[in-house]
Structures are given as structure tokens and as C-alpha cells.
Homo-oligomer: A and B are copies of this chain.
């Protein structure tokens, strides 16, 4: 996919550590694929919390702020996704506020589906809003909750929120961690010497040399203080709803997601795809890098040779020359170049992780054919995406989803390819196992939780 789907944020928190800001920003490097719009951290020295944020990548954050000036024992970090609209520094995270509980900073991954209703209610009650992010609404609710202490206030507050959330809070002396009862987004905890570390994906632990302990449980609430870690359950849903798309595209393959290796699941999906949608082809290639694992699985199961048929430019990032005509095509060409020697006179099976709009694949298919491919067969390691996500992914509007208005055959025709095959919903769930524990709503329209009253579905944090 090329700028078609956006992960919506990555979070990290470290408590009782050394070189906390340095480790948080290192960890954010590992989570960078979850958000490239803005990056930030908040750190407590036990007395005061300070926050720094930048638009852009973690490398920009490091360039704009001298992190060695920030000393502290606990902190949180956040990367936020990039979309065209309300992308301003005001919406960057963490958000730091002061309230009756003292200073609180929060980093959020997910999407609150009743945010609009709650915000309207709070405005009616006399609250003011300085951002358009869910996190501010959360903090208002916490601030106005009657409770004995901050921990209790957070616990009470978050029960009012529907949708998905992985939350890491710090006060001047404690850290609080919460994950929604459905477990939509991944969140894990690790040990780093005497310190605790929580992060959206375990690849951050690998980089930091932290030892993965377990996933934060859906509905779990953690209180981490100088006295240690206390776990409790603040909610209990009658089902789980892990976002199955994390396996398909969003998470890094080297992460353990929902307690399974993402790479393993992705590979299984490739194999299952080969079983469901075989092809008569000379080589299997992937759209790198996100579909490579599935392609390897497909190649192995089908016995067709895996090849690198498309080269992915290492230097194509966010900065791009302003859009004139043919820009979309230009962008795809900048990112991918076909390797003629691999493709020429071959019947090519292209494995991609998913189809959202289909525009990129259309351009790529033509590129492959121009490079001499005799036939182009597309195999998608997930079912047709036909419905919007309200739980933390930024999809194009439903009308733009290829599968919402076209059959696979029509899509194949639009793409101009010999054949197109999708993984089935059942096949996909077989790969993950315990399929009932997963959300697959964007595929099967079965939304596990309240989905809100309007378009606020793409908001992160």
C-alpha cells in the first residue's frame, strides 16, 4: 500500500529507568511505522513533568530538542499518524495538563467512538477544548471525576469511553496503563533491569534490550509506583476484538502481537492464500516490504519461486514535490522500480497484503507489464476491505474502498490483471486461530462496539 492506510499512533512508557528520554526516543524509532506525523515525549523528574513534541519523524524531534537536557525517572512517548486534515502541533501527543490531581501527561493509541457525545456533554458542562484529540476529552473526564486518588479517577473515567484505547499516563510520581476491554490495539509490558516498559509493539523492547513479560490484558489497569506494579481489571466485555489488521499490515512482522508472532501469522496467511487461490505462474513477487512475509508463505506453499521483482527506494519519505498531474503515478514510480531481468517473459504472481483503493496496484500492474511480465496475477493476503474502521485506523471514506462497490472480478478488470484472488474471512481467521477473539469489521461489517454518531472515526489519541 502507498499512503492508503495509516496506523494510528504508537505509545511507549518507561518507569523507574535510566536515560529515560533517550530510551523512549529509541523506542519510538522502533514504533515509527505506526505514525509519522508527529512525535513527542513527556518526562517526570519526580517533581515536575515536562513535554516536548515536534511535527514529523522521531529524527526531527531529536534535531529540534536536545534530549540530554531532560532528566527524569519516568516518561512516556508517542508517534502519531499523518493525514491531511487537522495535523497541527496542538494535536501532537503526549498531552500534558494540570488539574486537581496535579500534572498528568497521557499518550493514547486508539479511537474513542463516543468522543463527540462526551465532548458535547462536557462543553455543555462548561469545559473548554484546545485540541481536537480524544486525549483531551479523556483528561477532562479524569479531572472531573470524583475519586480518592488519580488512579481511581482514571479507572472510573475510562469506563465511560467506548471504542479502542491503549493509554499510558504519568503523574509526577506514578505511571498508569490501561487497555480497552476488547483489546483492539496491542500493548505489552517488559522488564528493563529495575525498570518497567510498556509499548505498542514488542519490537521496541528488542531495540531497548527489554525483556517481554506479557501483554496488558484487555480491560486491565496497571498502577506503577515506587512500591511496584499493581494490576486490576476495570472492565469485562463479553468478547475480545483484537484488530486483525494489525497482523495483516499495521504491525511490524518482528513484533509479537496479541501474544503471537506477527511474522508467523503473516506467513500462514500467505500459505492459506496459496491454498485458497492457486495460480499458474513462473514467479511470486511481493509489493515490498509489507507483503514480503506473506509472499514468502505463498511461494513456499505453492512451490513457485519467490523473487524480488520490485525494488523499493530507501529514500522516499514524506517530503514530496507538490502535486501536479500524474503525481500519483510519479509517487509510485519513485517508491518502486521493476527489475526487468526478473520479470521479463514471466507469468508473475504479485502478493499484496490488502487492497484499499487499488490505485497503487493499478499503477504497479502496468509497470510490471511494461517491464515484460507476460501475465500479472494478484493475490491478496486478506479479504476485501469494504467497511470503515472506527477503532483507530485511518481509512479513506467508504466510497473510495474498491471492495465497497466492486466485485473482485470488477476490481481485477480495473487493475487490468489476468486474475485477482483474495483470502477468505474464514481462511484469515484460521491463520490467527480463535477467530472469535478478533475484530474483522472492516472485512465482515461486524462491529464489536459502539461506533459513534459521526465522522470522528479517524482521530488518533
A residues lining the B interface (CB < 8 Å): 22, 25-26, 29-30, 32-33, 36, 57-59, 62-63, 67, 89, 95-100, 123-130, 136, 139-140, 143-145, 203, 206-207, 252-254, 261, 263-264, 289, 292-293, 296, 300, 305-308, 311-317, 319, 321, 330, 333-334, 337-342
Contact = CB atoms under 8 A, between A and B. Distances in A.
B342 A263 contact: yes
A87 B446 CA distance: 50
Contact of A319 (B63, B307, B334): B63
Given A59-B317, A315-B32, A334 B126 contact: no
A92 B26 CA distance: 31
Contacts of A316: 29
A124 to B, nearest CB: 5
B143 A333 contact: no
Given A126-B143, A144-B126, A263 B333 contact: no
Nearest to A333: B207
21 contacts: A22-B321, A25-B321, A26-B330, A29-B334, A30-B337, A32-B313, A32-B314, A33-B314, A62-B319, A67-B321, A98-B130, A99-B126, A125-B144, A128-B143, A206-B337, A253-B308, A253-B311, A261-B340, A263-B308, A263-B341, A264-B341
Contact of A126 (B89, B100, B263, B312): B100
A28 to B, nearest CB: 10
Interface centre among A125, A127, A261, A317 (most CB of B within 10 A): A127
Contact of A334 (B143, B207, B292): B207
A98 B123 contact: yes
Interface centre among A129, A143, A339, A340 (most CB of B within 10 A): A339
A284 to B, nearest CB: 12
Contact of A130 (B63, B97, B300): B97
A261 to B, nearest CB: 4
Given A207-B333, A337-B203, A341-B261, A308 B293 contact: yes
A204 to B, nearest CB: 10
B143 A315 contact: no
Contacts of A319: 59, 62-63
A260 to B, nearest CB: 9
A100 B129 contact: no
Given A99-B129, A254-B338, A254-B340, 18 more contacts: A25-B321, A29-B313, A29-B334, A33-B314, A97-B129, A97-B130, A98-B123, A99-B127, A127-B144, A130-B130, A252-B311, A253-B339, A261-B339, A263-B342, A264-B341, A292-B308, A293-B308, A300-B305
Given A32-B315, A252-B311, A334-B207, A123 B96 contact: no
